[in-house]
Amino acid sequence: MSYNNILSEFENGITTITINRPKKLNALNKETISELHDALDAANNDADTKVIVLTGSGEKAFVAGADISEFADFSVEEGGNLAAKGQELLFDFTENLSTPVIAAVNGFALGGGLELAMSCHFRVASSNAKMGLPETSLGVIPGYGGTQRLPQLIGKGRAMEMVMTAGMIDAQQALNYGLVNHVVEQAELLPLCYKIASKIMRNSSVAISQAINAINANYKDGINGYDIEIEAFGNCFGTEDFKEGTTAFLEKRKADFPGK
């Protein structure tokens, strides 16, 4: 597929999706959100793609925010529809993909950009990265899941402070908060993501997809995560991956998993 605002490249089991609007600091507009949905969906459905890495072009920004010019004159109803559609099409969609998604945060991740990074399964940041939710300085609140995912990741008090002050934190503070898993120099960012991806790819894609579902269940209202874990655990027993993994262990060899 060809895209106007993103790049999608596959190599060695990894699909790297790059938001490519450098003149706009990779800001999210409707077209970019739609293209990201399509690219993520295609990678998730590709049997050869074991891990997805999501990043921004250049060295300044992952995603510097949403394209404010698109919604500055929206009504109450239009604003609500914007948030609902965006969450469905991209942010909730990304969080619930069965293929692991790593955010390689290569610079500013602000507003919708931080919300996108938080919807990925985990985050790795370059040392120059800055993160924040500045929406209250515009008279609005985060609308793409930021008020929900940020407290889950860093705690209620810290999330309240970040949202209320509309301030930014640097990569080291994000690491201290648990918002990102690792911080490295920019030149090492993608290589580290690919190194982590290679470790993920040694394991069962089927089991990993079940684990993603079970972990996410703990953060959904009205869902008992333990029940989902029990069901997912049981489901694994009916898979070829389980047969191969246990057989390989008993035969003292490396498992060769069938894949997705």
Residue of 231, 78, 228 whose CA lies nearest to 140: 78
Both tokens of 240, joined, read 């070829």
Q: How far apart are alpha carbons 236 and 200 in whole angstroms?
A: 17
Return the C-alpha torsion angle 144, 159, 122, 135, nearest 10: 30
With contact defined as beta carbons under 8 Å apart, do 134 and 114 qualify?
no
Q: How far apart are alpha carbons 230 and 210 in whole angstroms?
A: 11
Q: How far apart are alpha carbons 109 and 194 in whole angstroms?
A: 20
Q: How far apart are alpha carbons 81 and 36 in whole angstroms?
A: 19
Q: How far apart are alpha carbons 112 and 101 in whole angstroms?
A: 17
Write the DSSP symbol of residue 122.
Answer: E
135 part of the active site: yes
What are the Cα distances from residue 150, in Å, to 11, 22, 144, 233? 32, 26, 11, 28
Catalytic residue among 59, 77, 135, 231: 135
Catalytic residue among 95, 115, 185, 188: 115
Q: How far apart are alpha carbons 153 and 177 in whole angstroms?
A: 8
Which residues carry out catalysis?
A: 115, 135
